[in-house]
Amino acid sequence: MSWLFVFGGLCVLIVLHEAGHFVAAKATGMRVEKFFLFFPPKLTSVRRGETEYGIGAIPLGGYVKITGMNPEEEFPPEVAHRAYYRQPVWKRIVVIGAGPTVNIVLGFLILVVVALTSATTATQRVEEVVAKTPAAGVLRAGDRIVAVDGHRYPALDAEARVERFHGLIGAHKCPGAQVDGCKASTPVHLRISRDGRLSQIVVTPEYKASAGQALVGFSFDSRPVDIGLGAAIDRSANLAWLVTSETSKRIARIFDANERREISGIVGVSDVGHQTVDLGAAAAFTFLAIISLSLGLINLFPFLPLDGGHIFWSLMEKLRGQPISLRTMERASAVGIVLVAALFFIGLTNDVGRLTGEGFHVR
């Protein structure tokens, strides 16, 4: 079922992206010939009015074919006034920009809804004790951590208090180099409440390289909290900005070997999505929102055949005061084609490496 959710979610994002182009083209009076999910060869289609709706065999995207997208295309005189390159520049930008805009707005709205419906705050109770850790056999689920190393922080709320407790545990260092699994030189003193009784527990934390600090081996419980629309929008905006900046950095540093390792293709995205779905609805929809944002942002890069390339050349035409020749755009689009092909190849190569070796470590 998780794979079905991932595939269905990606299909929805593609359809909504193309629907943005479709609706904008119709609204501005352009003639839409085709609206397809996936790329040819065609599997099935149906015609409604002047538009053919269908599904292709190659699940790598989708497309909307608008009459006159090629400046040198020939078409019947009766539809010439509705051709793409016969329209004012502003209409062309609206139509091309509608697809990425839908993805960006949709991603942001999903993040807002997730924040409103699944926001939690930490409590001081132990949720889970990890097996084969210092806490195993010492702490129990349901124990309440009252103080760490004598510090209680009564003036702070539970979330801030838990964060301080986490920092206090992490302050215990191993003697010498901090290597995975080494034991801290000093123990942690935990004051806990269990079944209404207070008691003191002494446990020696171990350094975990994945966390970058010493840990005891338990997680704090959490409870749902209503953060309000304003806070949900603020959280979503911060995450959306993080996705924007990280996406831009990855593309800008594509020639950096370390950055290239972080690029994923459709196989990797599907695998991470499959694993994320297993973590729950909130994680799954957050993942879908991030993919939607990334899809919209990448499509805005100013290279043909991406949407941003069409917008760029429309703006150049406006500044120049006359149409740009097809030859000029074709020569310039070679850069975009190479970039898209490189991203696809690098992403696929990384996916194969992760799936056969190092893995994504989402869990």
Note down pLDDT in tens along the chain; length 363 residues.
566 767 788 888 889 999 999 999 999 999 999 999 988 899 999 999 999 999 999 887 889 999 988 887 888 888 889 999 999 999 999 999 999 999 999 999 999 999 898 888 889 999 999 999 999 989 999 999 999 999 999 999 888 999 999 999 999 999 999 999 999 999 999 999 999 999 999 999 999 988 889 999 999 998 888 888 999 999 899 988 887 887 776 666 555 555 545 555 444 444 444 455 456 777 788 888 888 888 898 888 888 878 998 999 999 989 988 888 878 887 777 766 666 666 655 554 554 454 444 443 333
Last residue of a domain, one of 224, 255, 279: 224
Same domain for 255 and 334, yes or no, is: yes
Same domain for 24 and 110, yes or no, is: yes
* Residue 345 one-letter amino acid: F
Same domain for 181 and 199, yes or no, is: yes
| pTM > 0.75 | no
Residue 116 burial by CB count (10 A; 0-12/13-18/19+): exposed, middle or buried? Answer: middle
Domain of 31, in residue numbers? 2-117+238-358
Cα first-last separation, the chain: 18
Same domain for 86 and 127, yes or no, is: no
Same domain for 248 and 348, yes or no, is: yes
Last residue of a domain, one of 193, 224, 255: 224
Same domain for 246 and 110, yes or no, is: yes
Phi then psi for 308, rounded to 5 degrees? -60, -30
In a domain, 232, yes or no: no
Structure tokens at 61: 């995207």
| DSSP bridge pairs for 199 | 192
In a domain, 347, yes or no: yes
- What number of other Cβ atoms are within 10 A of residue 217's Cβ? 19
Same domain for 126 and 112, yes or no, is: no
Same domain for 244 and 353, yes or no, is: yes
222: nearest Cα among 137, 128, 147: 128
Phi then psi for 221, rounded to 5 degrees? -75, 165
Last residue of a domain, one of 168, 195, 224: 224
Structure tokens at 148: 């760490």
Phi then psi for 220, rounded to 5 degrees? -80, 145
In a domain, 329, yes or no: yes
Same domain for 191 and 94, yes or no, is: no
Same domain for 53 and 73, yes or no, is: yes
In a domain, 233, yes or no: no
In a domain, 179, yes or no: yes
Same domain for 187 and 329, yes or no, is: no
In a domain, 298, yes or no: yes
Task: Give the total number of structural domains in the chain.
Answer: 2
Same domain for 99 and 125, yes or no, is: no
